[in-house]
Amino acid sequence: MHIVVLAKMVPDPEGPPSSFEVNSAERRVVPRGIPPVINPFDENALEAAIRIKEQVGGTITLLSLGKNLSRAVILKAVAAGADASVLVEDDSLDQALLDSRTTATLLAAALRDLEPFDLVLCGRQASDTNAGVVGLGVAVLLGLPAVTLAQKVEVADGRVVVERVLSDGYEVVECALPALVTVSGEVGDLRYPSLQAIRAAKELPQRVVKAQELGVELPLHPWTETASLQPPSRERRCRLVEADSPAEAGEKLALLLREEKVL
């Protein structure tokens, strides 16, 4: 069983709002004082891959595409349970300039070089684009069947069985391999690697390729354009209830809401 996990590097999405500086003129978000991390849903995807490997055996390749990929971040992810990594990396792969089409096309090309594989796992969406498009794009380009929004992924008898999140529950979908599955947070957090595993991971094979080496004619005409980028306007003026005790504040809040016809 060969599983490829698509893992994107993003500025830590749990950083406070002040750490995402919106540069409207250049239509890009500049992270301030927050480290790069693996997109959380991609970590969930890696965790799902590791569990499958524990069940049925096999190897896991981590595939990441971008500019200036942090080796420390990749190493920690690989150490959690992957066997190799491939980085598609060069200066042209600037997140602010990449659209879903280009990203998916390059990842699909990189995946062709990794054949044969049985399963491609990726995140349900990246925390920066908030798109949820690239995984399915890769599937269409490679002609793979794809199941989205997995809360559980299991492999048996040459098939993958996925619990797919719905708004009022979930459905169980069975799909032929090779396939692509996009993974949701319900799968569970990625395990922490031990220090020993991190040391050992330094010896695992890592290949770094440039976008031009993938045989894709760049630049591709994008299908979407960013016309504007603005910070959200969501601040309100808050009336704080003053009182001598929290209990009194609770009572006063109810009275205030009644007075203001909110209740």
Ligand X SMILES: Nc1ncnc2c1ncn2[C@@H]1O[C@H](COP(=O)(O)O)[C@@H](O)[C@H]1O
Ligand Y SMILES: Cc1cc2nc3c(=O)[nH]c(=O)nc-3n(C[C@H](O)[C@H](O)[C@H](O)COP(=O)(O)OP(=O)(O)OC[C@H]3O[C@@H](n4cnc5c(N)ncnc54)[C@H](O)[C@@H]3O)c2cc1C
Which residues within the stretch 22-61 sit at the binding site for other proteins (CB under 8 A)? 22, 27, 29
Indicate which of ligand X, ligand Y, other proteins, none lies near residue 110 (CB less than 5 to 8 Å, by partner kind): none
How far, CA to CA in Å, does 80 sit from each of 2, 84, 116?
Answer: 16, 11, 23
Query: Is residue 183 a contact partner of residue 214, using CB atoms and an 8 Å limit?
Result: no
Binding footprint of ligand X on the chain (CB under 6 A): 6-8, 39, 41-42, 63-66, 100, 103, 107, 122-123, 125-126, 129, 131-135
The Cα–Cα gap between 24 and 88 comes to: 28
The Cα–Cα gap between 52 and 251 comes to: 53
Stretch that binds other proteins, among 56-64, 111-119, 195-203, 238-246 (CB under 8 A): 238-246
Instruction: Tell me: does residue 129 bind other proteins (CB under 8 A).
Output: yes
| Element containing residue 53 per DSSP (H, E) | helix 40-56
Indicate which of ligand Y, other proteins, ligand X, none lies near residue 123 (CB less than 5 to 8 Å, by partner kind): ligand X
In angstroms, what is the minimal distance from the CB of 123 to other proteins?
11
Strands 84-89 and 59-66: parallel
Instruction: Tell me: does residue 135 bind ligand Y (CB under 6 A).
Output: no
Of residues 184, 105, 113, 177, the one with CA closest to residue 146: 177
Which residues within the stretch 194-233 sit at the binding site for other proteins (CB under 8 A)? 221-232
Indicate which of ligand X, other proteins, ligand Y, none lies near residue 141 (CB less than 5 to 8 Å, by partner kind): other proteins
How much is the CA Rg of the chain, to the nearest whole Å? 22
Return the number of the residue (11 or 66) whose C-beta is nearest ligand X. 66
